[in-house]
């Protein structure tokens, strides 16, 4: 099924009403003259058209056919080349790029919606331009002017692609133990040797050149992550006039055979003395890579919402059309042999759960994107500082909670279809397989949870929480007497106090119990995510109330219905996570290691 339609009204609601984006952007000189409401709506409309008509129809075949590898060359699925050219011709790869080098300079709040549309249409397709955007961001932030002039324009245009080469067979989350090396050459370049795995788009047939960003160590560099440098390693070296020259000694040794995203080439890349060029300073590579990681990890959350949105659209349509059984309150469709699935409470619960997580996640990703825009474009130092703290705090939540909930949503979408959900041509089982990776790559969700609790909360005694919790408290105080919002504000206030209390408990307990952080991290992130979504639903409810006379009152009424469901049926999950944290680490850590093996 490829009948995806971008949720335009919801995206416009978030930008124009909830976050008043145009007013925010008007305070930012770098974007104030570039964008207004009409421009925003035009971009969203064109993005919706491209993704629905040119990309979504390719999704199922991309899964059936997959990317193929032979003799070092990768062939992408049928139709990808044409769709990619349409994507490039529309300037979509340049949307948020640096205007000095051919980009459009649009803010992340807008770009994130185009990103979601593309991910909803086909994750496999979306990954190719997504990795180029990430590599471009790193170069824009840290490369020399000469290097930017050499690479960025062609990367923004889509003529060249980009990759990120981090992981090695023995070095995944622990990049400090990587063995790829870069040896200085007399001409100022470096010879890179080593093997990188899980490289998205490491080889493909969509672009004439691929610009690899490679993390490696220069001999004599400090041990661990402090000794990592970043290098540009082009697939084809460039002549003095910028034209393509000889093939570099970087090759694709194979591609992975994966559970999902089969149209995306996940490559093993071999660097055999390949010519590379240092980005920025030596031994700063990991810092440079993390510049784009905030964007990429938010992108993973958006990827999750994108897949879950497609799952919801298909499941809701199926539940309305499929007749099965009768309503418990009496016949609803007397002219039919049975009522539609939508009359059954459990089916409604699945659909409402999906929609509540999807729309809450979309709002949350926009909120985080807003902070990234403030950091990038604001000229107010205090605003930038606060936004930086919020980005640091919320990025792991955006990556992990959004993808966890997206995976749950896609599973629910499959369940709404029943047996048909297990059959390939209906599309739901592909969504389940495709979205599963979002919980794993760009740092597994367990790693994100450790980052949130260990580094962003405990390490600074909750300092990063102050700004976020103060904002939520201010909202509660401002709307505490608003009877129309009472069903949102009071539960939000209660959840906030619960999270504050459990945070204080963890900070105190971890002094004696060194496993407390590891034992609590995933439950803490889930509780934090539920609180954050409750806040998002409260601010959406505030903007949705009082619209009974509007022509699109159904939109606002649906917001309130779904928001009420989230507060009453999903937010209470926070109590289970808190109880698990309060149990401590004992039951996790006391069983001897040998007993984990049945054959001991």
What's the CA gap between 19 and 29, in Å, rounded? 18
Q: Is residue 577 part of a domain?
A: yes
**146 given a catalytic annotation:** no
What's the CA gap between 166 and 138, in Å, rounded? 13
pLDDT of residue 292: 78
- Left (φ > 0), alpha (ψ -120 to 50) or beta: where does 158 sit? left
Q: Is residue 142 part of a domain?
A: no
Residue 585 per-residue DSSP state = S
Query: Which of these, 502, 499, 493, lies nearest to 474 by C-alpha position?
Result: 493
pLDDT of residue 289: 87
Written as one string, the DSSP assignment of 393-454 is HHHHHHHHHHHHHHHHHHHHHHHHTGGGGGSGGGSHHHHHHHHHGGGTSSS-HHHHHHIIII
Q: Is residue 502 part of a domain?
A: yes
Q: Number of structural domains, the chain?
A: 1
Strand pairing report for 73-75 and 236-238: unpaired
Q: Is residue 477 part of a domain?
A: yes
pLDDT of residue 2: 61
pLDDT of residue 170: 79
pLDDT of residue 547: 80
pLDDT of residue 598: 85
Q: pLDDT averaged over consecutive 10-residue blocks of the chain (600 residues)?
A: 88 97 95 94 98 97 97 96 98 96 96 98 98 96 97 98 93 75 97 97 98 96 93 97 97 98 98 98 92 87 98 97 92 92 97 98 98 96 96 97 98 98 96 98 95 96 94 97 95 98 96 96 98 98 84 92 98 98 96 87
* DSSP H/E element including 252: strand 250-255
Cβ–Cβ contacts within 10 Å for residue 237, how many? 16
Catalytic residue among 153, 389, 429, 442: 442
pLDDT of residue 542: 97
Q: Is residue 41 part of a domain?
A: no
Chain segment 90-116, per-residue pLDDT in tens? 999 999 999 999 999 999 999 999 999
Q: How many Cα atoms within 13 Å fall on the side-chain side of residue 340?
A: 11
Length of the chain, in residues: 600
Q: Is residue 479 part of a domain?
A: yes
Collect all residues with Cβ–Cβ distance below 8 Å to 238 and sequence separation of at least 6: 150, 244, 245
Q: Is residue 347 part of a domain?
A: no
Q: Is residue 174 part of a domain?
A: no
Chain segment 41-74, per-residue pLDDT in tens? 999 999 999 999 999 999 999 999 999 999 999 9
Residue 458 is part of which domain span? 453-588
Give CA separation, 102 vs 148, 152, 500, in Å. Answer: 11, 8, 46
Tokens found for residue 419: 């047996």
- Kindly give the residue spans of alpha helices, DSSP state H, lying in 90-184: 108-121, 123-142, 145-157
């Amino acid at each position: 099924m490829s009948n995806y339609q971008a949720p335009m009204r919801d995206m416009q609601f978030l930008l124009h009403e909830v976050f008043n984006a145009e007013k925010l952007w008007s305070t930012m000189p770098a974007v104030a003259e570039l964008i207004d409401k009409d421009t925003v709506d035009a971009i969203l409309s064109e993005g919706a058209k491209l993704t629905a008509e040119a990309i979504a129809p390719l999704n199922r075949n991309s899964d059936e056919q997959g990317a193929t590898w032979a003799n070092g060359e990768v062939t992408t699925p049928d139709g990808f080349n044409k769709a990619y050219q349409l994507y490039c011709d529309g300037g979509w790869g340049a949307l948020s790029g640096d205007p000095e080098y051919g980009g459009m300079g649009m803010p992340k709040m807008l770009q994130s919606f185009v990103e979601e549309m593309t991910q909803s249409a086909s994750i496999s397709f979306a990954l190719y331009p997504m990795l180029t955007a990430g590599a471009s961001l790193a170069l824009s932030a840290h490369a020399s002017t000469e290097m930017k002039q050499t690479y960025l324009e062609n990367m923004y245009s889509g003529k060249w692609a980009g990759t990120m080469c981090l992981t090695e067979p023995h070095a995944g989350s622990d990049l400090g133990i990587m063995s790829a090396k870069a040896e200085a050459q007399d001409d100022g370049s470096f010879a890179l040797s080593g093997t990188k795995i899980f490289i998205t788009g490491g080889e493909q047939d969509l672009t004439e050149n691929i610009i690899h960003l490679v993390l490696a160590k220069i001999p004599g560099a400090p041990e661990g992550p402090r000794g990592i440098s970043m290098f540009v390693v082009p697939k084809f070296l460039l002549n003095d006039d910028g034209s393509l020259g000889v093939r570099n000694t970087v090759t694709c040794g194979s591609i992975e055979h994966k559970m999902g995203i089969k149209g995306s080439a996940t490559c093993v890349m071999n660097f055999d003395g390949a010519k590379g060029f240092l980005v920025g300073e030596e031994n700063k590579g990991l810092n440079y890579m993390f510049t784009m990681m905030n964007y990429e990890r938010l992108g993973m959350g958006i990827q999750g919402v994108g897949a879950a949105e497609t799952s919801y659209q298909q499941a809701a349509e199926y539940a309305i059309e499929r007749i099965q059984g009768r309503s418990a309150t009496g016949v609803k469709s007397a002219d039919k042999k049975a009522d539609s699935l939508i009359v059954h409470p459990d089916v409604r619960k699945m659909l409402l759960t999906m929609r509540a997580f999807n729309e809450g996640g979309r709002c949350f990703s926009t909120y985080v994107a807003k902070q990234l825009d403030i950091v990038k474009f604001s000229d107010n130092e205090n605003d930038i500082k606060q936004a930086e703290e919020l980005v640091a705090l919320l990025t792991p939540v955006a990556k992990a909670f959004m993808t966890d909930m997206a995976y749950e949503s896609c599973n629910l979408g499959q369940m709404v279809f029943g047996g048909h959900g297990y059959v390939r041509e209906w599309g739901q089982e592909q969504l389940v397989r495709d979205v599963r990776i979002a919980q794993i790559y760009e740092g597994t969700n367990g790693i994100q949870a450790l980052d949130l609790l260990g580094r962003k909360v405990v390490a600074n005694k909750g300092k990063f929480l102050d700004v976020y919790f103060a904002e939520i408290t201010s909202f509660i105080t401002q709307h505490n007497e608003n009877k129309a919002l009472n069903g949102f504000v009071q539960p939000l206030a209660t959840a906030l106090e619960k999270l504050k209390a459990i945070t204080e408990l963890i900070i105190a307990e971890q002094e004696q119990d060194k496993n407390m952080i590891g034992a609590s991290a995933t439950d803490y992130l889930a509780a934090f995510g539920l609180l954050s979504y409750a806040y998002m639903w409260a601010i959406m409810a505030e903007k949705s109330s009082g619209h009974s006379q509007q022509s699109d009152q159904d939109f606002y009424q649906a917001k309130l219905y779904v928001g009420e469901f989230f507060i009453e049926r999903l937010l209470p999950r926070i109590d289970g996570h808190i109880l698990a944290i309060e149990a401590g680490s004992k039951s996790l850590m006391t069983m001897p290691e040998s007993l984990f093996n049945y054959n001991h």
